[in-house]
Amino acid sequence: MIFPSSPNSIQKGCDLLRSGRVVVMPTETVYGLAADATSDHAVAQIYTLKNRPQFNPLIIHVPALAQAEEIAVFSQQAYALANKFWPGSLTLVLPRRSGHSISDLASAGLDTVAVRIPNHPVALDLLKAYGKPLAAPSANRSTEISPTQASDVQKAFGEDIFILEGGPCQVGVESTIVDLTGERPVLLRPGGVSVEQLESVLGPIDRISESSPIKAPGMMRRHYAPTRPLRLNITEAHPKEAILGFGKCEDLPVTLNLSPSGDLVEAAAHLFRMLRELDSPTYEGIAVVPIPTHGLGLAINDRLSRAATPVE
């Protein structure tokens, strides 16, 4: 069920979390399936609900830097990024602090931890009221499209799940993930904070290459997928295909447009909702016009190319 956010519903969410249950938490990126990150039992519920391969570690959400410092070891670079982008759509992969309380299941037995402070009032209210960190992957089943509104989550999981209403997600793609545990920072997943923004703090950063071993399962090739075939960078339409536009698109019969004015921030916020809408029996496929690769365009192209990879 979807509950409007209020002191009562936040309290009810905390009660459920305390009893080891999962609560759907809105964030500015996508809705998350949140569970107590200090409890193996609670975290196991997330994996079960999502049908998620067990080796995927989860992002740990906290309401403030002090709580992040309790579970992870911050370098100068980590502080610089946290100061600039938190609360916000940036996840930092850092060494786990010894004596931390995070469930091994949540970080899949790794000696690192992925942490972020979400920039959404309902998420922050829930995190503060609960008082313990929450593990939260996107609230979709494995390989399906991430949810950017409460009704998406209800459709995927049914009436039984407790959903806090947070409105449509303002960012609309998942957080950017940066690994700071090596000698140099590495971008594991492009997302809501652009590479250009990161580089303004860190200088040039490495991007994980297609050939490197999977470090972030957001890197699995097929992910974020509609059920209909998807063609990218199209310049002409096939009959019965839905066309997802960006910018002016004067020569194409566009079905939906990610951003008629060509604004990549607006396009990211609309991406998953529009893919869902076009993934309907009315069409035999979805065709997407070219989208620039700067700023949030990198994350948009990344999600689209994964969604376009045929099932193996």
Q: Which residues bind ligand TXA (CB under 6 A)?
A: 27, 29-30, 32, 56-59, 91, 93, 107, 110, 112-114, 118, 136-138, 174-175, 177, 188-189, 215-218
Name the strand (E) or helix (H) holding 93: strand 90-95
According to DSSP, residue 305 is labeled: H
Check: CB of residue 189 under 8 Å from CB of residue 177: yes
- CA dist 86 and 255 (Å) reads 36
Check: CB of residue 102 under 8 Å from CB of residue 71: yes
For Mg ion, which is the closer residue by CB, 91 or 138? 138
Least distance in angstroms from the C-beta of 166 to ligand TXA: 11
Q: Site size for Mg ion, by CB under 5 A?
A: 1
- Using alpha carbons, list the distances in angstroms from residue 125 to 7, 38, 40, 130: 9, 19, 23, 8
Radius of gyration of the chain (CA): 19
Q: Which residues fall within 8 angstroms of residue 201, CB to CB, at 6 or more apart?
A: 77, 80, 81, 84
273 binds, among ligand TXA, Mg ion, none (CB under 5 to 8 A by kind): none
Given the DSSP bridges, would you call strands 162-164 and 176-179 parallel, antiparallel or unpaired? unpaired
177 binds, among Mg ion, ligand TXA, none (CB under 5 to 8 A by kind): ligand TXA
For ligand TXA, which is the closer residue by CB, 91 or 301? 91
Stretch that binds Mg ion, among 11-19, 98-106, 124-132, 136-144 (CB under 5 A): 136-144
Least distance in angstroms from the C-beta of 182 to Mg ion: 23
Q: Is residue 138 within the footprint of Mg ion (CB under 5 A)? A: yes
Burial of 192 (0-12, 13-18, 19+ CB in 10 A): buried
Q: Which residues fall within 8 angstroms of residue 23, CB to CB, at 6 or more apart?
A: 13, 16, 17, 34, 35, 126, 162, 163, 164
Which of 137, 144, 201, 208 is CA-nearest to residue 175? 137
58 binds, among ligand TXA, Mg ion, none (CB under 5 to 8 A by kind): ligand TXA
Q: Is residue 89 within the footprint of Mg ion (CB under 5 A)? A: no
For ligand TXA, which is the closer residue by CB, 10 or 58? 58
For Mg ion, which is the closer residue by CB, 46 or 62? 46
Least distance in angstroms from the C-beta of 159 to ligand TXA: 21
Query: Prior bond to 53 cis, omega within 30?
Result: no
Q: Is 201 helix (H, G, I), strand (E, B) or coil?
A: helix
127 binds, among ligand TXA, Mg ion, none (CB under 5 to 8 A by kind): none
According to DSSP, residue 59 is labeled: E
Q: For residue 102, what are its two tokens?
A: 């995070």
Q: Is residue 176 within the footprint of Mg ion (CB under 5 A)? A: no
For ligand TXA, which is the closer residue by CB, 184 or 238? 184
Least distance in angstroms from the C-beta of 173 to ligand TXA: 8
Residue 146 identity: S
Distance from first CA to last CA of the chain, Å, rounded? Answer: 35
**Residue located via tokens 């904070």:** 193
56 binds, among ligand TXA, Mg ion, none (CB under 5 to 8 A by kind): ligand TXA
Q: Is residue 39 within the footprint of Mg ion (CB under 5 A)? A: no
For Mg ion, which is the closer residue by CB, 138 or 175? 138
Least distance in angstroms from the C-beta of 305 to ligand TXA: 16
Least distance in angstroms from the C-beta of 124 to ligand TXA: 12
Stretch that binds Mg ion, among 137-145, 187-195, 248-256, 284-292 (CB under 5 A): 137-145
Site residues for Mg ion per CB under 5 A: 138
